[in-house]
Amino acid sequence: MKTYDLIVIGGGAGGLTVASGAASLGATVALIEKNSELGGDCLHYGCVPSKAFIAAAKEVHQAQRAAEQFGFELNGKPDFSTAMKRVKDAIAHIQVHDSKERFTKLGVSIYHGEGTFKDKHHVVINNREIIKGKKIVIATGSRPNVPPIEGLKEVKFLTNESIFDLKNKPDRLLVIGGGPIGLEMAQSFARFGSEVTVAEAGPTIFGREDEDMIPIIKKELEKEISILYNAMTKKVEANAKGEKVVTIKQNNELKTYTFDEIIVSAGRKNNIEKLGLENIGVDVDKGAIVVNDYLQTSISNIYAIGDINGNFPFTHAAGMEGKVVVRNAVFGIKGKVNYDHTPWVTYTDPEVYHLGLTEQDAKDKYGEEFRTYKVAMNDVDRFIADRNNVGLLKVITKKNGHILGAHAVGKNASDWMQEIVMAKTNGLKIGSISNVIHPYPTHAAIVQQTADLYWREKLFNGSIPTITKKYIKWFR
């Protein structure tokens, strides 16, 4: 039996961060991955392929807009297979960074198969080989949740794990679920010419975002896709033509629709069933492994990171958690996980960016003891020049200027919002960004203009103008 300092179960973003970090620092590491390649959901089915597809759809959309605005004609239809090839190429290119060879060279022992706990130090691989680990990290991620809709499992449907195997664009597409993945895919398919309907069970989309962001992104998306709110998909069946006949209940009324393809985007389900957690007594709550601030489970030598712990289900958060675990599990230097400065982005067009508290969160926590600063895209010269000026930036601070949250809807918000993340992470006040020189004209100028509002409020309201007026009069 082989013994390791650290066993990592799951070769996705979080697991690879732990394995590479621990091995690079001299620990003996075993990595167990059920698939033939490393990289996890993000590389093969999520972040990477979806962004490649979104980029292709955006190019098609921009070409169509240019033809409309500049009065020339486009001939033919966009080649859907070209977009799918781009997706595969992107995966293959990035796979090199997550290759088995790279991790083997780092000294990581790679095992392919399912890992199941025998006890708190021993893991059985594929019911055959047993390995021992002083510390063990669970990073098995999640998979698409398939809701119990009548007839759904009897017809062919798509999830994020099968979308990118499509050969042809569907003419009529239903997306069940109006979450980030569903909306990103819905808009992209619409840009390739699909007639897209989103069935969202709730009364709105982007329910976790700041209230000022929701109307903006809803209006933009509804220009391209049809969204049914308070819509429950009740039944799915195939007709003689192979089409999907779907019954949807909306506002107590049943309606029947016909589609060529269905994408199920109704949340995620954690991959915990085959771990044998019941064998060792690891606490689980609502399908997620319970962890403390150090990412330890109820058994102290076992850690859980990424989607599996239910805290912050994003790839970049899993990577951050992986770094915390390397520090805690390998060196025993206690470090707590902190999500206060961890943003997320929904990559629709325009993008939706979220950092920290929303205004409602701030009201609940601080009452009226906070400030908000807002700048619209149509007040920023670069967005105006680009003729892409739909959107808003909103920063929420304490009264002293320390940043509580920042939210945006706008073109490429995932890029220019990072300046605020940097400031918040380092405890800087929003006003500090006002002093940073930004080239003119840039999209990031919106961040500086928002910071300028802080100084405008400080300097031009209250007693300061009265004092400076007297000083200037005396000085002259």
Is residue 345 pLDDT above 90, yes or no? yes
Angle, alpha carbons 100-106-109 (nearest 5°): 60
180-191 helix and 214-221 helix, angle to the nearest 10 degrees: 30
Q: How far apart are CA 50 and CA 56, in angstroms?
A: 10
Domains 2-144+269-331 and 152-266 share a fold: yes
Global pTM value? 0.94
Q: What is the pLDDT of residues 230-286, one digit of tens each?
A: 999 999 999 999 999 999 999 999 999 999 999 999 999 999 999 999 989 999 999
**Angle, helix 47-70 to helix 180-191, in steps of 10 degrees:** 40
DSSP 184-248: HHHHHHHHTT-EEEEE-SSSSS-TTS-TTTHHHHHHHHTTTSEEETTEEEEEEEE-TTSPEEEEE
| Gap between the Cα atoms of 61 and 224, Å rounded | 11
Task: Supply the pLDDT for residue 452.
Answer: 95
Which residues participate in the annotated binding site for FAD?
A: 51, 115, 140-142, 307
Q: Which two structure tokens, joined as six digits, stand for 445?
A: 């100028």
In this prediction, residue 220 carries a pLDDT of 98
Q: CB count, 10 Å around CB of 198?
A: 27
CATH topology of domain 2-144+269-331: FAD/NAD(P)-binding domain (3.50.50)
Task: Report pLDDT digits (tens) over 417-454.
Answer: 999 999 999 999 999 999 999 999 999 999 999 999 99
**CA-wise closest residue to 391 among 159, 267, 222, 216:** 216
Mean pLDDT of the 82-110 span: 94
Axis crossing angle, helix 13-24 with helix 315-325, rounded to the nearest 10: 30
Q: Give which of 120, 150, 145 is closest to 132, Cα–Cα.
A: 120
Q: Encode pLDDT of 363-401 as tens digits.
A: 999 999 999 999 999 999 999 999 999 999 999 999 999
Please state, in angstroms and rounded to a whole number, the distance separating the CA atoms of residues 68 and 73.
8
Maximum separation of any 2 CA atoms in the chain, in Å: 90
- Residues at the annotated binding site? 51, 115, 140-142, 177-184, 200, 267, 307
Fold of domain 350-460: Enolase-like; domain 1 (3.30.390)
Beta strands in 10-107 (DSSP E): 29-33
Q: Which CATH number fits domain 152-266: 3.60.20.30, 2.60.120.380, 2.60.40.1080, 3.50.50.60?
A: 3.50.50.60
Domain ranges, ordered by start, for the chain: 2-144+269-331, 152-266, 350-460
Those residues whose C-beta lies under 8 Å from the C-beta of residue 100, and which sit 6 or more positions away, are: 37, 38, 110
Residue numbers in the known binding site for NAD(+) are 177-184, 200, 267
Q: How many CA atoms lie within 13 A of 333 on its CB side?
A: 5
Q: How far apart are CA 244 and CA 156, in angstroms?
A: 9
